[in-house]
Amino acid sequence: MRTLIVLTLLAVLVMAATCYESHESMESHEYLNPFLNRRRANDFIQADTRLRAITQERIRERSKAPQEHQRELCEDYYPCELYAFRHGYAAAYKHYFGRRRTK
């Protein structure tokens, strides 16, 4: 019986020593509010520069020159591309896409 009381007291002391919440851990502001607001989170995380470059490329695609757009259309269509090698992209585009073919 005496050993059981001693073991119980020893277990209580070990538990108290390992589960004690010190005052220093409560001083931290993360203890009360572990989440950051959006503005503070953006202070140390920088935007991905690769994403910014992709966005700018998409903007440039929307505002292409008409000649560049015509050249890309011609490059996608193989007969037009072959015609462009001999006569130029402007003539090839005009030959294949310039006139509307209706039946």
At residue 21 the predicted structure's pLDDT band, cuts being 50, 70 and 90, is low
The tokens of 77 are what?
Answer: 């269509």
pLDDT for the residue 16:
79
pLDDT for the residue 3:
92
Round to whole Å and give the CA distance between 14 and 25.
20
- What does pTM read for this prediction? 0.39
Residue 84 in this model has a pLDDT that exceeds 90 = yes
